């Protein structure tokens, strides 16, 4: 069992103030844990289901065992209202069963226990349920059950529920802070389908009605959203892998029959990725079970010991660019360490999963293709909107935190930490975050897993580096605004100064290249003058180690708003000095060029036409709005980002090479918004 960060004292306080806590939305997960659920800790789930592809239904039961942390008379669990509860049974220490009552409100099920359970007692309840579970609208981002078909028309079924929570398909305590010590999974499907799931396959049980039950067992703690069903007429590619720990375990790849040959070709890369992670982070954590990969009809997810793989053997499926390796598999495998071995106890620390996971692709490129490719990958992840803290201090649901740039900015933070503490020290920090004690690398019974917070990572980084690092965490993770680099050339000198939000401390040294000489310079709070020798080119932060904004960027935008295009071009020159050939410089010049040749009323009319709402996948919303400062786009993790016109229908930002294009029909009406491979339909055309 992973140790929970809630102390008994905190739990008692929660229970005494139960009415004060809000309920998380039915299709969201996490947030503040309600008192009734803080009162117990789940130790075991036993899930038994018949999955029926003919009518897209499920039917079965879940046994829940829990340790009671504070006295309870009600046992509160979560289950989607689309599913019907047939019966609930309370089981005593002698396995005697008695039916008990329950009530349902929104997604909560309140079970009336037969007596008061005191602290330290064990609770066992079995819920019989069934129905047609939520259908995934756009998995894995909008999750649920996916009822797809293989090439020959066979059922191809997959679950995904990170954003919605496990309760959309089985009764559970739907909170990231509580994991069972182990779990039984028994899935009955029509022949010749196979169910690939978490843990180890213990047995296959044939039935007289041409169905088979597959009995899986997870021997280590597992997060509820990582429990997954994958059902199809799979073929198995398998080998035995020897870990750096000396243990051996099976590596299994379940592929569709039509992709067996491609699967065999891809299998060696799976092994290469495993070897990379073991080399840098320590032993694969779940050696007691397996490492599994399964083809899915959705892109992918980090389901523990059965990674969902839907990249179709396309290296660019996740990233949009072929970096020379299967980035989807590599990223999802990273979560066996960052997410499954080390798990955020609240979604506010999700960057420990996704930022770390994203950074590992950069390290892999460095190892396989060199340091330049590493830097290219880091720079490619600069296209994020810096509008929400990556690691806020208050509790967050999964959907709330995914609006923050936990992937890209999280990876950039690790990139900067490496620069500040040094290469060797950083590598030690990274491995110690996975396994704080080397003795844990020898363990595979589940006690090697743990919950972690951003403050835990800070403590590890400070201990190993011997440096005070809270300022770095504060400015990049706890708040949104980036430090600015202020430059002012005068009389052969370049004045340089860091400007930070609210005057936050920022002792970040800056690499400056003058001619052929590279120096790392400490910038005092009052700034510093750098002498520029005639003819020498100055290059600030040439390798792009530091995440900052040039102060001239805000100046240039202000000048553009006031139609001072000459002044704006001068400010753009300072952006070039601060950032080199940057996206901001290129896109602002494109914007200025368009404004200089286009009548003002035409620009205003174009902006007016694109203002409105746009729906992606029928559920996610982009909003384009205008205020006195300019035109802004928000939505889908992209909150209030300014966009600048460069033509009648194309707009750009200052942090992405992607163009926002608005599609205009023959009548001049805007019908959709396109952002790279994403297309969102206009929903309020009548206002045009």
Concatenated DSSP letters of 452-514: E-HHHHHHHHHHHH-S--HHHHIIIIIS-PPPEEEEEEETTEEEEEEE-GGG------EEEEE
323 phi and psi angles, rounded to 5 deg: -95, 10
Judge contact between 144 and 169, C-beta under 8 A: yes
**pLDDT-based confidence at residue 10 (cuts at 50, 70, 90):** very low
**Residues 591-619, mean pLDDT to the nearest whole number:** 90
Residue with tokens 């802070």: 177
Percent of the chain with pLDDT over 70: 94
Residue 499: CB atoms within 10 Å: 14
Task: Kindly report the average pLDDT of the chain as a whole number.
Answer: 92
Between CA 676 and CA 229 the distance in angstroms is 32
Residue 77: CB atoms within 10 Å: 26
More confident residue, 178 or 618: 178
Supply 410's token pair.
Answer: 């999280």
Radius of gyration of the chain (CA): 27
Q: For 636, left (φ over 0), alpha (ψ -120 to 50), or beta? A: left
Between CA 513 and CA 542 the distance in angstroms is 7
Q: What is the pLDDT of residues 74-85, one digit of tens each?
A: 999 999 999 999
Judge contact between 512 and 528, C-beta under 8 A: no
The pLDDT score that the predictor gives to residue 446 is 96
**Residues 427-448, mean pLDDT to the nearest whole number:** 97
Judge contact between 180 and 285, C-beta under 8 A: no
Entry pTM: 0.91
The pLDDT score that the predictor gives to residue 19 is 40
177 exposed, middle or buried (CB, 10 Å; 0-12, 13-18, 19+)? buried
Judge contact between 220 and 179, C-beta under 8 A: no
274 exposed, middle or buried (CB, 10 Å; 0-12, 13-18, 19+)? middle
The pLDDT score that the predictor gives to residue 20 is 44
Cis status of the peptide bond prior to 283, with omega within 30 of 0: no
Between CA 402 and CA 231 the distance in angstroms is 28
Between CA 498 and CA 71 the distance in angstroms is 54
Judge contact between 46 and 183, C-beta under 8 A: yes
Between CA 406 and CA 404 the distance in angstroms is 6
**Residues 628-632, mean pLDDT to the nearest whole number:** 89
Supply 174's token pair.
Answer: 């739907």
**pLDDT-based confidence at residue 8 (cuts at 50, 70, 90):** very low
Between CA 392 and CA 408 the distance in angstroms is 16
- Nearest to residue 143, comparing CAs of 64, 61, 226, 60? 226
Residue 477 has pLDDT above 90, yes or no: yes
Beta-carbon contacts of residue 203 (< 8 Å; ≥ 6 apart): 215
Segment among 215-224, 288-297, 439-448, 531-540 with least mean pLDDT: 531-540
Judge contact between 317 and 309, C-beta under 8 A: no
Percent of the chain with pLDDT over 90: 82
Parallel/antiparallel/unpaired status of strands 248-255 and 291-295: parallel
**Could you give the dihedral angle defined by the CA atoms of residues 403, 407, 410 and 411, in that order, rounded to the nearest 10 degrees?**
-160
- Nearest to residue 195, comparing CAs of 233, 161, 222, 242? 233
The pLDDT score that the predictor gives to residue 685 is 55
Between CA 457 and CA 455 the distance in angstroms is 5
More confident residue, 23 or 442: 442
411 phi and psi angles, rounded to 5 deg: -65, -40
Q: What is the DSSP string of 409-462?
A: HHHHHHHHHHHHH-HHHHHHHHHHHH-SSGGGGG--SSTT-EEE-HHHHHHHHH
Q: Which long-range contacts (CB under 8 A, 24 or more apart) does 112-115 make?
A: 112/73, 112/74, 113/72, 113/73, 113/74, 113/75, 114/90, 115/73
Judge contact between 207 and 188, C-beta under 8 A: yes
- Nearest to residue 147, comparing CAs of 229, 27, 224? 229
Residue 448: CB atoms within 10 Å: 24
Between CA 364 and CA 648 the distance in angstroms is 41
The pLDDT score that the predictor gives to residue 366 is 98
- Nearest to residue 251, comparing CAs of 195, 293, 310? 293
Segment among 110-119, 167-176, 488-497 with least mean pLDDT: 488-497
**Residues 261-277, mean pLDDT to the nearest whole number:** 98
Between CA 290 and CA 276 the distance in angstroms is 17
Residue 224 has pLDDT above 80, yes or no: yes
What is the helix (H) or strand (E) element at residue 663, kind and residue range? Answer: strand 660-664
Between CA 249 and CA 444 the distance in angstroms is 11
**pLDDT-based confidence at residue 687 (cuts at 50, 70, 90):** low
């Amino acid at each position: 069992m992973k140790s929970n960060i809630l102390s008994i004292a905190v739990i008692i306080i929660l229970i005494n103030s139960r009415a004060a806590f809000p309920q998380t939305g039915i299709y969201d997960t996490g947030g503040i844990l309600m008192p009734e659920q803080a009162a117990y800790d789940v130790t075991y789930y036993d899930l038994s289901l018949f999955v029926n592809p003919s009518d897209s239904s499920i039917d079965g039961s879940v046994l829940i065992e829990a340790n009671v942390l504070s006295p309870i008379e009600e046992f509160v669990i979560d289950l989607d209202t689309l599913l019907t509860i047939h019966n609930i049974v309370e089981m005593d220490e002698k396995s005697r069963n008695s039916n008990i009552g329950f009530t349902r409100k929104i997604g909560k099920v309140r079970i009336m226990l037969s007596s008061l359970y005191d602290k330290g007692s064990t609770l066992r309840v079995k819920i019989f349920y069934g129905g047609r579970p939520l259908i995934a609208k756009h998995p894995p981002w909008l999750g649920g059950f996916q009822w797809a078909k293989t090439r020959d028309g066979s059922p191809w079924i997959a679950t995904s529920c990170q954003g919605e929570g496990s309760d959309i398909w089985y009764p559970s305590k739907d909170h990231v802070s509580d994991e069972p010590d182990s779990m039984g999974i028994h899935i009955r499907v029509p022949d010749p389908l196979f169910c690939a799931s978490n843990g180890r396959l213990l047995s296959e049980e044939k039935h007289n009605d041409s169905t088979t039950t597959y009995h899986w067992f997870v021997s280590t703690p597992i997060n509820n959203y990582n429990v997954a069903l994958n059902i199809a007429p799979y073929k198995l590619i398998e080998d035995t892998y020897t870990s750096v720990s000396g243990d051996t375990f099976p590596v299994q790849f379940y592929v569709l029959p039509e992709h067996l040959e491609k699967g065999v070709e891809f299998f060696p890369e799976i092994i290469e990725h495993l070897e990379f992670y073991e080399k840098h982070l320590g032993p694969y954590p779940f050696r007691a079970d397996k490492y599994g990969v399964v083809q899915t009809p959705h892109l992918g997810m980090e389901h523990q010991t059965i990674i969902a793989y839907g990249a179709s053997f396309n290296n660019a499926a996740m990233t949009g660019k072929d970096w020379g390796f299967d980035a989807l598999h590599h990223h999802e495998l990273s979560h066996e360490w960052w997410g499954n071995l080390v798990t955020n106890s609240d979604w506010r620390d999700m960057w420990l999963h996704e930022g770390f996971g994203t950074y590992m692709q950069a390290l892999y490129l460095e190892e396989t293709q060199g340091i330049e490719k590493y830097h290219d990958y880091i720079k490619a992840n600069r296209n994020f909107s810096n509008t929400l803290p990556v690691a806020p201090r208050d509790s967050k649901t999964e959907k709330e935190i995914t609006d923050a740039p936990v992937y890209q900015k999280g990876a950039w933070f690790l990139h900067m930490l490496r620069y500040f503490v040094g290469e060797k020290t950083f590598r030690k920090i990274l491995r110690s975050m996975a396994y704080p004690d080397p003795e844990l690398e020898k363990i595979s019974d589940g006690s090697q897993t743990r919950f972690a917070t951003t403050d835990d990572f800070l403590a590890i980084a400070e201990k190993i580096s011997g440096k005070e690092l809270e300022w770095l965490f504060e400015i990049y993770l706890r708040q949104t605004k980036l430090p600015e680099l202020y430059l002012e050339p005068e009389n052969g000198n370049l004045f340089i100064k860091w400007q930070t939000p609210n005057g936050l401390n920022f002792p970040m040294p800056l690499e400056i290249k003058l001619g052929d000489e590279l120096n790392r310079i400490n910038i005092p709070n009052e700034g510093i003058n750098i002498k520029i020798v005639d003819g020498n080119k100055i290059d600030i932060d040439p390798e792009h180690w530091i995440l900052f904004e040039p102060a001239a960027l805000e100046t240039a935008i202000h000048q553009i708003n006031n139609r001072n295009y000459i002044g704006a071009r001068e400010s753009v020159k300072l952006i070039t000095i601060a950032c080199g050939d940057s996206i901001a410089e290129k896109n602002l010049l494109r914007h200025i060029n368009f404004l200089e040749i286009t009548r003002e009323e035409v620009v205003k009319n174009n902006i007016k036409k694109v203002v409105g709402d746009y729906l992606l996948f029928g559920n996610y919303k982009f909003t384009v709005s205008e205020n006195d400062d300019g035109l802004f786009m928000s939505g889908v993790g992209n909150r209030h980002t300014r966009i600048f016109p460069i033509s009648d229908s194309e707009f750009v930002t200052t942090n992405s090479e992607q163009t926002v294009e608005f599609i205009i029909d023959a009548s001049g009406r805007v019908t959709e918004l396109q952002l790279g491979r994403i297309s969102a339909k206009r929903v309020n055309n009548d206002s045009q």
